[in-house]
Amino acid sequence: MRADARENRQALIGAARRMLAERGADVSMRSVAAAAGVGIGTLYRHFPNRDDLLTAVVGSMVDDITRVIESHETGWASPEDAEATWRSCAHELAGLRLAAIGENVIVLAPQEGEVWKATAPLRGRLTDAYSSLLARAADAGLVDAALAPWRFHLGLAAIARPLPGGFEARFDDLAPGQSTWLVDTFLNGLRP
């Protein structure tokens, strides 16, 4: 794939992610193309239909999650290091703010639909990455060994979900560090 085509593809995926998070499931393909700065024909060359675009969005999300988890594969040698690595990883994962995007993808791509089927390998990659992370955390005594990857993923996503209507910006005025506190509270609650 040519460099400009690769850039256009990434711009389209990025625009779709932002728009799904900000505007919800009603985002049109035309508005995604406009937000990416490309024509509608370019969008359809890369993604012949909405399902193809949604599958790429899910792939992008899984890539980001696995990248964060893989970047925290070291640093588990001592209890202090393990604690710091675990918290750092969880905070970075929460910082991805993927809940709103995921929710809107699910609205557009029901279970057992084409996107659900196409993303099965991606869900497998995600489960494997989380299983590896949670095994290290369990070995360090930070979580129960029975903690399921999807329970962790969905719990973290729920507490890291952006609030609507600009309230998020007021969080720090009312309670500085609220987002960090929520993630830390969640992690503390996972301890065996």
The Cα–Cα gap between 94 and 173 comes to 20
* Residue among 67, 88, 175, 66 at smallest CA distance from 137: 88
The Cα–Cα gap between 95 and 30 comes to 28
Instruction: Go through the domains of the chain in sequence order and give each one's CATH number.
Output: 1-48 (1.10.10.60), 49-189 (1.10.357)
Write down the mean pLDDT value for the chain.
89
With a CB cutoff of 8 Å and minimum separation 6, the contacts of 8 are 36, 38, 42, 46
One digit per residue, the tens of pLDDT, for the chain of length 192 reads: 688 889 999 999 999 998 888 887 788 999 999 999 999 999 999 999 999 999 999 999 999 999 999 999 999 999 999 999 999 999 999 988 887 777 777 767 777 788 889 989 999 999 999 999 999 999 999 999 999 999 999 899 888 876 665 666 666 677 788 888 999 999 999 999
* pTM score of the predicted model: 0.88
The Cα–Cα gap between 48 and 43 comes to 8
The Cα–Cα gap between 163 and 182 comes to 13
